[in-house]
């Protein structure tokens, strides 16, 4: 059981098309704020772990050093930047946990950020293809949406057309996102709009429609993670009861692209470490970069057998009032998906739920949360099981 470290503070910027010029400015919104939220001072921080995908979004790189530009007291604190595609935020969290649990320090700052909206749409699509296997997948029409369009096509060919269920997932997440003050798109579109092809909801990469795709976003989120002994002395503590990271082979041609085998293994590993089952979870924040991803993730986490994720949707299991609420925050679909910030954001929002501080997003009586964040087309797969310990 990984109970050696806990989340003790956090900060979260709005997600969307922001005026902040770059990731330096975005990190400046959250780095100091997270430390203050934890009831600590910058001098208490032993290490900094930054998650930024970049891959061409801006010329400036070497971004581990950025948090100190807004919090000068961090100037001489060791800092590292990690990247693992869309799971970059969770990779930064794991870097911090490894640092603390190996005994190298007691308090770590994690900052995830991305500035995406300064680039033209076509260029954004090409940059995101850096999270795929370019030797085989660079020419897929529609960029990364095209990658998941192919995944959806393969799924429909094997199991039947599930466009209606994808629309219901989109409608659920947009409805939930209305309650999220950080969300990029706080509008309840309803099922009919999401399920109907129109000028405002065209095909982006068939069979995926605009409402099936997450948003291009700017944003940042930060966490302070502390060792168990430090966490006991602070006002908040949400522990990692378990965590798992499982990879899969990158090229889709060398695996079953709709099995999400790495995701399945990560969930099994994390739940076994935690000594829990899905029935013990109060909520899940999962990586809905596209609605078909959320559908397949229901199967990967064990809510349904392969090809039967549609039953989870039809039965309302993952609605906010369902048996296992999924993406009460609105998910990436409504909240937005600034790549490096996403995994950190998912942990912030889950910690807020467990501390009873989620406002209108709150799931009553939330005790244990699951978080699934993935990089690429289910290549880097991270699962966290979080519980409040103070």
What is the structure's pLDDT at 37? 98
What tens-digit pLDDT sequence spans the chain (390 residues)?
A: 345 799 999 999 999 999 999 999 999 999 999 999 999 999 999 999 999 999 999 999 999 999 999 999 999 999 999 999 999 999 999 999 999 999 999 999 999 999 999 999 989 999 999 999 999 999 998 889 999 999 999 999 999 999 999 999 999 999 999 999 999 999 999 999 999 999 999 999 999 999 999 999 999 999 999 999 999 999 999 999 999 999 999 999 999 999 999 999 999 999 999 999 999 999 999 999 999 999 999 999 999 999 999 999 999 999 999 999 999 999 999 999 999 999 999 999 999 999 999 999 999 999 999 999 999 999 999 999 999 999
**Could you say which DSSP state residue 304 is in?**
S
* Three-state secondary-structure class, residue 60: coil
In the set 12, 174, 287, 337, the catalytic residue is: 337
What is the C-alpha to C-alpha distance for residues 90 and 75, in angstroms, rounded to an integer? 24
What is the structure's pLDDT at 95? 98
Q: Which two tokens stand for residue 251?
A: 């090229």
In angstroms, the first-to-last Cα distance of the chain is: 17
For 311-347, the DSSP string reads: HHHHTTTTSTTSSS-B-TT-HHHHH---HHHHHHHHH
Mark whether 174 is an active-site residue: no
Can you give the C-alpha Rg of the chain in angstroms? 19
What is the structure's pLDDT at 165? 98
What is the C-alpha to C-alpha distance for residues 108 and 46, in angstroms, rounded to an integer? 6
Strand partners, 16: 218
What is the structure's pLDDT at 1? 39
What is the structure's pLDDT at 59? 97
In the set 37, 86, 245, 287, the catalytic residue is: 86
What is the structure's pLDDT at 238? 98
Q: Which residue, among 47, 54, 3, has the nearest Cα to 389 in the 3D structure? A: 3
CB-based burial of residue 199 (10 Å sphere; 0-12 exposed, 13-18 middle, 19+ buried)? exposed
What is the C-alpha to C-alpha distance for residues 53 and 61, in angstroms, rounded to an integer? 10
Q: With beta carbons less than 8 A apart as the criterion, state whether 328 and 353 touch.
A: yes
What is the structure's pLDDT at 4? 79
Mark whether 86 is an active-site residue: yes
């Amino acid at each position: 059981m990984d109970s050696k470290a806990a989340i003790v503070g956090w900060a979260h910027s709005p997600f969307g098309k922001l005026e902040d010029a770059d990731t330096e400015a975005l990190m400046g919104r959250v780095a100091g704020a997270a430390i203050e939220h934890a009831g600590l001072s910058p001098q208490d921080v032993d290490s900094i772990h930054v998650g930024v995908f970049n891959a061409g979004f801006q010329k400036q790189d070497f971004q581990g050093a950025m948090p100190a530009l807004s919090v000068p007291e961090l100037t001489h604190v060791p800092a590292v930047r990690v990247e693992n595609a869309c799971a970059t935020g969770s990779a930064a969290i794991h870097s911090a946990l490894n640092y603390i649990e190996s005994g190298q320090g007691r308090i770590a700052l994690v900052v995830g950020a991305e500035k995406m909206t300064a680039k033209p749409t076509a260029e954004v699509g090409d940059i995101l293809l850096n999270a795929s296997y370019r030797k085989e997948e660079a020419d897929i029409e529609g960029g990364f949406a095209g990658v998941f369009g192919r995944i959806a096509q393969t799924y429909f060919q094997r199991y039947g057309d599930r466009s209606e269920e994808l629309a219901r997932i989109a409608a659920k997440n947009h409805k939930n996102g209305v309650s999220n003050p950080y969300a990029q798109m706080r509008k309840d579109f309803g099922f009919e709009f999401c399920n109907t092809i129109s000028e405002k909801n065209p095909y982006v990469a068939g069979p995926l429609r605009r409402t099936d795709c997450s948003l291009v976003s700017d944003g940042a989120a930060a966490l302070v993670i502390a060792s168990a002994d430090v966490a006991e002395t602070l006002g908040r503590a949400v522990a990692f009861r378990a965590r798992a990271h499982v990879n899969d082979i990158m090229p889709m041609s060398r695996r079953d692209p709709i099995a999400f085998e790495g995701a399945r293994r990560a969930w099994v590993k994390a739940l076994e470490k935690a000594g829990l089952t899905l029935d013990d979870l109060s909520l899940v924040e999962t990586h809905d970069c596209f609605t078909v991803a959320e559908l397949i993730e229901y199967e990967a986490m064990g809510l349904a057998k392969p090809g039967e994720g549609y039953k989870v949707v039809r039965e309302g299991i993952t609605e906010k009032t369902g048996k296992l609420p999924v993406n009460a925050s609105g998910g990436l679909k409504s909240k937005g998906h600034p790549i490096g910030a996403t995994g950190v954001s998912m942990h912030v929002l889950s910690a807020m739920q467990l501390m009873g501080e989620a406002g209108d997003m709150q799931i009553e009586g939330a005790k244990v949360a699951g978080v699934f964040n993935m990089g690429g087309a289910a290549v880097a797969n991270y699962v966290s099981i979080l519980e409040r310990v103070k």
